[in-house]
Amino acid sequence: MLHFFIATVAALSCWVASVAGFGLVASGNNFVVTTDGGLIFTVDKTTGDITSMLFNGIQAQSNKGKHSQISSGIGASCTWFQGGNQNNYIVITCTTSTLTQYYIARRNDPAIHMGTYTSAEPTIGELRFIARLSTSTLPNGYAVSNTVGGTAIEGSDVYLVNGQTRSKFYSSRQFLDDHVHGVSGNGIAAWMIIPGTAYEGSSGGPFMRDINNQNGGDQELYFYMNSGHTQTESYRQGFHGPYALWFTTGSTPSTFDYTFWEGLTGFLGFVPQSGRGRVSGKASGFRSQFSTLLSIGWSNSAAQYWVRTDSSGNFVSPYMKPGTYTMTLYEVELAVGTASVTVSAGGVAAANITSSLRLPTTIWSLGDYDGTPRGFLNADKIETMHPSDARMSSWGPATFTVGNSINTLPMAVFKAIGALTIKSTLTSSQIGARTLVIATTLAFAGGRPVVSIGSWTSAIPAIPTQPDSRGVTRGTWRGNNILYTYSIPSGTLIAGTNTITISVASGSSGATYFYVRIICSSNNTLRRPL
């Protein structure tokens, strides 16, 4: 009787684990994971794709044919184990020669925890996790990236839908602020959570922005780890994450504590907190108007981090991998100071940073010198619309009179639109040899500014080093901030009204442009930004 009793209990517990409780059942090519948190998901062990995500009985995975996957599918082979504290974790490891994708279920989390290790860039040339979700159960994505029924107007990724431009790029958000983004439906919402240092293996710095969502038939939800989408840096390899695809009945989740990864060993490239260090210090010398818009970035070829300072400039970095980093102080998006700092495991390095920006005395200055075109005409729309969108104000050719509100000065000069004209009335004491400075954040197809005043025309500046990629038409102005300085010869400016034209020089035709922020200064001691 005793033997029979034990056998019955064992059989019963096995049945509970496979159907109702936390566990993994291998069936054919499928690893079916029950999280016990409302989510049951399936990984195809012969590809590494996620083929089903049932949340409270609602199927989140699209049934249109494509699965949820890293890159465009990696053809990995997968193994699994259950372990960790009280066997509360199931780890599925999907392996290729250059990429390993980890999927972890933690008991009671309605989530697929993930980490991605790369030793080389995927052959598709970018690294992203894409959840291809069902538009019937998760219909509510970002309106700006819903391209259903649209006509492609640029690069087969910008569409016109009912008279409005739409693109997956318009769902992007700066990495500095992008930790939770999601889509929703009736009784279900799916969220990509990118907590803590999950961007450490990404590229482009704190102001890089990349695709979060597209609805072109599937409701696509992304974590872009790297891409060439107006990229300013080389790609980093190593561990990316931890991150998670998390389900709720509707509410927006906060980020989560991922330190449980440290209790599970064997993740390629994963560095636990005990193997990391921090930097603590204070920024100084910044312009007080930007005191609530300061951030500090750290980067080297292996990792990148950032943090906002408090309004006095104090900061403490995230837990970083050991190494020597370039530390950069940003006022909004403008790098104004750098320092070098070395981080060691278990340590807190003390390192202050100060602005080296020196601004000249100006006759006039248009816009804030902050590494963004904010405040100029159409800058409030450019992140979510194509420049051709009917909701944009006319780009010109514009004539701007110094003294007018800068929200009438277009944020970009396009070769196809024509030169920007600036009218400046000067007194006899303001004329003479002067310096004109134009600050740009990004340019396309080698576009750079050429200045004419009366019969004087500037030399054509050298072709700028900028990302080899569209930008302004894909919702970003972020590039390599480049400053142009023009020495206006004595006798050029007159007492009275001067007409200054700024046109685009470029070896290419088409929508060549650059962004402007213009300073007419009485001397040229404006220090080049970093």
Q: Exposure of 154 by Cβ count < 10 A (0-12 exposed, 13-18 middle, 19+ buried)?
A: middle
Of residues 100 and 521, the one with the C-beta less far from ligand NAG:
521
Of residues 358 and 528, the one with the C-beta less far from ligand NAG:
358
Least distance CB 298 / ligand NAG (angstroms): 16
Of residues 136 and 344, the one with the C-beta less far from ligand NAG:
344
Least distance CB 360 / ligand NAG (angstroms): 4
Least distance CB 344 / ligand NAG (angstroms): 15
CB 483 within 8 A of CB 437: yes
Residue 498 identity:
N
Residue 514 CA: distances (Å) to CA of 42, 236, 373, 486: 48, 28, 10, 16
Of residues 480 and 525, the one with the C-beta less far from ligand NAG:
525
- Distance (Å, whole) CA 244 – CA 111: 6
Q: How does DSSP classify residue 360?
A: P
Q: Which residues bind ligand NAG (CB under 6 A)?
A: 281-282, 350, 352, 358-361, 522-523, 525
Of residues 98 and 362, the one with the C-beta less far from ligand NAG:
362
- Distance (Å, whole) CA 78 – CA 445: 44
Least distance CB 339 / ligand NAG (angstroms): 10
Is the CA virtual torsion 402, 406, 407, 410 positive or negative? positive
Of residues 186 and 525, the one with the C-beta less far from ligand NAG:
525
Residue 169 identity:
F
Of residues 63 and 284, the one with the C-beta less far from ligand NAG:
284
- Distance (Å, whole) CA 325 – CA 302: 10
Beta strands 278-284 and 314-316, pairing class? antiparallel
Least distance CB 281 / ligand NAG (angstroms): 6
Least distance CB 351 / ligand NAG (angstroms): 6
Of residues 171 and 521, the one with the C-beta less far from ligand NAG:
521
Of residues 260 and 290, the one with the C-beta less far from ligand NAG:
290
Strands in 300-419 per DSSP E: 304-308, 314-316, 323-331, 334-343, 348-350, 353-354, 362-366, 399-401, 412-414
Q: Is the peptide bond before 461 cis (omega within 30 degrees of 0)?
A: no
Residue 202 identity:
S
Residue 197 CA: distances (Å) to CA of 91, 167, 356: 21, 28, 28
Cβ-based neighbour number of residue 193 at 10 Å = 24
Least distance CB 521 / ligand NAG (angstroms): 7
Least distance CB 217 / ligand NAG (angstroms): 55
Angle at 286 between CA 281 and CA 289, to 5 degrees: 125
- Stated as kind and residue range, the H or E segment containing 282 is strand 278-284
Least distance CB 497 / ligand NAG (angstroms): 24
CB 298 within 8 A of CB 306: yes
Least distance CB 136 / ligand NAG (angstroms): 57
Of residues 158 and 437, the one with the C-beta less far from ligand NAG:
437
- Distance (Å, whole) CA 268 – CA 245: 20
The candidate with the shortest Cα–Cα distance to 169, out of 392, 378, 414, 472, is: 472
- Distance (Å, whole) CA 314 – CA 291: 11
Least distance CB 342 / ligand NAG (angstroms): 13
Angle at 479 between CA 473 and CA 484, to 5 degrees: 110
Of residues 362 and 501, the one with the C-beta less far from ligand NAG:
362
